[in-house]
């Protein structure tokens, strides 16, 4: 039986429109359907581009988390449902709001009023998006989405395994500056010219070491040519609370310490009896999920617990 696409030659390129939207489309047709397929691709890419544009335009800053309106279950709130419907929120997105919009999904840092007060400044760093605005008997509200995949940079008690949805008064939310205006967060220093290292004694790690208070290593990082943004990234991601979820606390890390020997690491700095290692995400994509970094992470180790290859 002849299939109409039998002679269609397909190759794949990745068009990234949004961090969570990737569209694969590059067709090299050799069949009579080539004109139709070539016309179809740009249309689909345009559709995804529009989605990405909407997300960018709806970026917001949570300026006053203390005003959080606590909702046990958004699926049980008629005002939220009617607000999304009136705003024309797509069915798939609305269903995700209703499925995940539960108080039980909130991270510890948002679970109590005292936690909100303690995290008021940090919450401003959420990458958040407005789903819609609506009004209830208490006044105008904003339904805000915080995507898990966009917020790995947040402190442990403000991270969630799932996307979270928050209801706030309009006065507690500000329009975010555009991506063009926002300074890009540093990915950290390049590891490609650093010497390879191997962790030989995993328990020699200083998991809660505060690099910001060590003037010796800070001077070493400056001397190595790192920018201030790169140094800030190293400081932030060298503490256990900003490591992958499976190793971000002693109780979870201890049973997995032996697997640290499998990390592909590089020496970023050495001082006194310590060494700073970078664990690049690119080189560690095949690590167990619990140990797999989402961004380059850093670890302070005792020199005696690490073998560093000689310079080439």
Do 143 and 207 belong to one domain? no
Residue that finishes a domain, picked among 142, 175, 208: 175
Do 111 and 24 belong to one domain? no
Do 236 and 134 belong to one domain? no
Is residue 259 a part of any domain in this protein?
A: yes
Do 171 and 63 belong to one domain? yes
Residue that finishes a domain, picked among 128, 147, 175: 175
Q: How many domains does the chain have?
A: 3
Of 156, 97, 151, 102, nearest in space to 124 by CA = 151
Is residue 248 a part of any domain in this protein?
A: yes
Is residue 54 a part of any domain in this protein?
A: no
For residue 258, what are the domain limits?
Answer: 195-308
Is residue 67 a part of any domain in this protein?
A: yes
> Mind listing the pLDDT tens digit of every residue in the chain (312 residues)?
444 433 333 333 433 334 443 334 343 344 444 444 444 444 333 333 333 434 445 889 999 999 999 999 999 999 999 889 988 999 999 999 999 999 999 999 999 999 888 888 889 889 999 999 998 888 899 999 999 888 878 888 898 888 999 999 999 998 875 544 455 556 678 888 899 999 999 999 999 999 999 999 999 999 988 888 889 889 989 999 889 889 999 999 999 999 999 999 999 999 999 999 999 999 999 999 899 988 899 999 999 999 999 875
- Half-sphere exposure for 170 (CA within 13 Å, toward CB): 9
**Hey, what are 251's tokens?**
């109780």
Do 169 and 208 belong to one domain? no
Do 213 and 290 belong to one domain? yes
Do 72 and 106 belong to one domain? yes
Is residue 147 a part of any domain in this protein?
A: yes
Do 209 and 128 belong to one domain? no
Residue that finishes a domain, picked among 125, 147, 175: 175
For the chain, the distance separating the N- and C-terminal CA atoms, rounded to the nearest angstrom, is 60
Do 34 and 101 belong to one domain? no
DSSP assignment of 283-304, as one string? Answer: T-TTS-GGG--SS-EEEEEEGG
Do 170 and 63 belong to one domain? yes
Question: In angstroms, rounded to a whole number, what is the distance separating the alpha carbons of residues 205 and 201?
Answer: 8
pLDDT the model gives residue 184: 57
Is residue 189 a part of any domain in this protein?
A: no
Is residue 180 a part of any domain in this protein?
A: no
Do 130 and 150 belong to one domain? yes
pLDDT the model gives residue 268: 93
**pLDDT tens digits along 81-117:** 988 998 899 999 999 999 999 999 999 999 999 988 8
Is residue 3 a part of any domain in this protein?
A: no
Do 21 and 102 belong to one domain? no
């Amino acid at each position: 039986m002849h299939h109409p696409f039998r002679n269609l030659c397909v190759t794949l390129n990745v068009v990234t429109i949004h961090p969570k939207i990737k569209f694969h489309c590059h067709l090299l047709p050799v069949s009579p359907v080539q004109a139709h397929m070539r016309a179809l691709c740009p249309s689909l890419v345009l559709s995804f581009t529009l989605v990405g544009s909407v997300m960018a335009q709806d970026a917001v800053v949570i300026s006053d988390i203390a005003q959080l309106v606590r909702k046990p279950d958004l699926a049980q709130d008629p005002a939220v449902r009617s607000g999304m419907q009136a705003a024309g929120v797509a069915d798939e997105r609305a269903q995700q709001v209703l499925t995940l919009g539960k108080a039980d999904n909130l991270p510890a840092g948002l679970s109590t009023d005292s936690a909100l007060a303690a995290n008021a400044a940090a919450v401003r760093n959420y990458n958040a998006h407005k789903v819609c605005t609506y009004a209830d008997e208490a006044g105008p509200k904003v339904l805000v989405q915080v995507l898990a995949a966009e917020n790995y940079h947040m402190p442990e008690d403000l991270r969630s395994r799932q996307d979270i949805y928050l209801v706030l008064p309009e006065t507690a939310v500000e329009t975010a500056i555009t991506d063009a205006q926002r300074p890009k967060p540093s990915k950290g220093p390049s590891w490609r010219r650093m010497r390879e290292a191997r962790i030989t004694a995993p328990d020699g790690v200083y998991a809660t070491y505060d690099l910001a208070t060590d003037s010796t290593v800070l001077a070493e990082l400056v001397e190595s040519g790192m920018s201030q943004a790169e140094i800030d990234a190293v400081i932030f991601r060298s503490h256990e609370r900003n490591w992958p979820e499976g190793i971000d606390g002693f109780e979870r890390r201890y049973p997995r310490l032996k697997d640290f020997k499998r990390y592909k690491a590089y020496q970023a700095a050495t001082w006194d009896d310590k060494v700073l290692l970078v664990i690049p995400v690119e080189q560690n994509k095949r690590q167990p999920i619990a140990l797999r970094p989402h961004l380059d992470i850093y670890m302070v180790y005792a020199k005696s617990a690490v073998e560093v290859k000689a310079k080439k």
